[in-house]
Amino acid sequence: MSQTDNSTKAQERLMAIANSLKAVEAVSAATQAIENPRPPFPVPNPTIPFWRTELHEIDNRRSTAELPEQCDIVIIGSGFSGASIAHHILEGNSSPPSMVILEARSACSGATGRNGGHLKPSPYYTVEKYTRMFGRQGAIDIASFECKQLDAVKELVRKEKIDCDFILTRAYDVMMDEDEDFPTVRDVWYLPAAAAEVQSGVKGAKCAFSFPVASVWPYKLVTHLLSQAEKRGVNIQTHTPVTYVTEGADADGYWTVTTPRGQLRAKKVIFATNGYTAGILPSFQDKIIPVRGICSRIMTPKGALGPSLPSSYSVRHNAKGADYHISRTDGSFIIGGGRPRYLHRAEEWYGVFDDSKLIEPAVPHFDGLMQRTFRGFEDSNASVDRIWTGIMGYTSDLMPYVGAVPSRPGQFICAGFNGHGMPNIFLASKGLAKMVLQECTFEETELPKPFKPTEARLLSTKNAVLDLLK
């Protein structure tokens, strides 16, 4: 036998040993992840939001008794992002890839099922800030992208005949601290102090902006999309938390996804995990930060309706805190916010992923809120019917991550929407679905440039979320 043959066989043995060691390390890492999940992760027994008082039959669905061993695409997360991605991959596709959706808890039990029901773009408030960050055109692109969501979701609801209380209306953004005229885009009306209080009904308004928005029952929207996806062959597995994803694909190009119920191999992995992303994608530690928020449902006594409030609202107490509000057709109001009560206490919200507890300093804020805020509600006896918390995903640079995960070919992310996912996610997920299906670049989509995941973003040490504490 020649020296070359001996050398080749030695190299093959070394490769086999290295691969075996990698396999052992992967098994060890997966076992460790199951026994001691890396935070953040969804906790059991979360508070119950109003949106989850009428549950869909898919809420605790497992399409098959056992976890599939393999698929083309696995989507981690069953909120608006996960459901929308599956919808866009299936839409108009006569031969779709095999897909599995993994959800840690019940369907749509994360941020989407706990939000304020607002589909509210920001056509003016963030324009000035984004102009400083990304230039004039960059700011316009982001604002325009958000505004397009209204028509896109409206058309989705119409086409799919989704029963989700979708209402197209106008918002009043009411300023309580100063009279300031912001740069505006697309159909924004400015009301100075003299008109703002009368037109909006908000006591003490300094000025207001009005523009088109929508409200929706988010859980019903998402569970409809999930049920339709299942009818097209998507395998949905609730109560199946992902604890570990291999750091590299195997020789056949598959990523291994570990859960307490077993492992699944997938050619492509999509993280629709928002505030929980860093728990299974460590490179996003301190880049997508779990932030706890609080929301409520307020009602007047049965048969004692208050004045009509057909619009939706953001009552901005100052630059760091606003109460957001939608009026429902049953006469109740969904109101979230209360930040001035707890923002200075970072331990209540920053990096917090426990939605089984309330933000106690904020709870009193919702008592008497309608009476304090709106003209005509002084004698309404409006009171809190229900209050809950939810975990949002805030990013250190205030932009979502939508696209391919850097240095992990075959992995994608749609997360980190900074509490502003409803007016971004549907079309963001459409762009992501295009990248997944067509293997095109980010630049070949219509996504705003700042949404692109890059190594530079992951390496940056800046943290804009902490600026809220200053």
Measured distance CA(217)–CA(153) in Å, rounded? 12
Output the pLDDT for position 321.
80
Q: Is the pLDDT of residue 9 over 80?
A: no
Output the 3-class SS for the chain.
Answer: CCHHHHHHHHHHHHHHHHHHHHHHHHHHHHHHHHHCCCCCCCCCCCCCCHHHCCCCCCCCCECCCCCCCEEEEEEECCCHHHHHHHHHHHCCCCCCCCEEEECCCCCCCCCHHHCCCEECCCCCCCHHHHHHHHHHHHHHHHHHHHHHHHHHHHHHHHHHCCCCCCEEEEEEEEECCCCCCCCCCCCCEEECHHHHHHHHCECCCCEEEEEEEEECCHHHHHHHHHHHHHHCCCEEECCCCCCEECCCCCCCCCEEEEECCEEEEEEEEEECCHHHHHHCCHHHCCCEEEEEEEEEEEECCCCCCCCCCCCEEEEEEECCEEEEEEECCCCCEEEECCHHHCCCCHHHCECCCCCCCCCHHHHHHHCCHHHHHECCCCCCCCEEEEEEEEEEEEECCCCCEEEECCCCCCEEEEECCCCCCCCCHHHHHHHHHHHHHHCCCHHHCCCCHHHCCCHHHHHCCCCCHHHHHC
Q: Per-residue pLDDT tens for 218-254?
A: 999 999 999 999 999 999 999 999 999 999 999 999 9
- The answer, yes or no, to whether residue 449 has pLDDT greater than 70, is yes
Confidence band, pLDDT 50/70/90 cuts, at residue 154: very high
In 10 A of CB 64, how many CB atoms?
A: 10
Dihedral, CA atoms, 337, 342, 346, 348, nearest 10 degrees?
A: -80
Average pLDDT over residues 370-382: 93
Q: Cα separations (Å) of 310 from 78, 203, 332?
A: 31, 17, 11
Residue 18's pLDDT is what? 52
Whole-number pLDDT of residue 317: 82
Query: pLDDT band for position 459 (50/70/90)?
Result: very high
Tell me the per-residue pLDDT of 18-36, one tens digit each, with 9 for 90 and over.
Answer: 555 554 454 555 555 566 7
Residue 2 has pLDDT above 80, yes or no: no
Alpha-carbon distance of 455 to 94, in angstroms, equals 36
Mean pLDDT of 450-456: 98
pLDDT at 420 (0 to 100): 95
Average pLDDT over residues 429-453: 97
Percent of the chain topping pLDDT 90: 78
Please say if the pLDDT value at position 124 is more than 60.
Answer: yes
Is residue 445 over pLDDT 70?
yes
**What tens digit of pLDDT does each residue of 161-213 get?**
999 999 999 999 998 866 555 555 668 888 888 899 998 999 999 999 999 99
pLDDT tens digits, residue range 324-336? 999 998 999 999 9
How much is the mean pLDDT over the chain?
Answer: 91
